[in-house]
Amino acid sequence: MGELCCEVKRYKVPDLDMEVRIYGEDGEIPRASHWMCEECTDIALSLEAVGFCPKTWLDQRALLKEYVEVYVKR
Q: 30 forms bridges with which residues in the sheet? A: 11
Whether the CB-CB separation of 38 and 3 falls below 8 Å is answered with: yes
> What's residue 2's pLDDT?
53
Q: How far is CA 8 from CA 26, 36, 64, 68, 73, in A?
A: 20, 8, 18, 24, 31
21-71 per-position pLDDT tens digit: 999 999 999 999 988 888 999 999 999 999 888 888 889 999 999 999 988
- Say what the pTM is: 0.69
pLDDT at 1 > cutoff 80: no
Residue 43, pLDDT score = 94
Q: How confident is the model at residue 4 (pLDDT cuts 50, 70, 90)?
A: low
Question: Where are the chain's structural domains?
Answer: 4-71
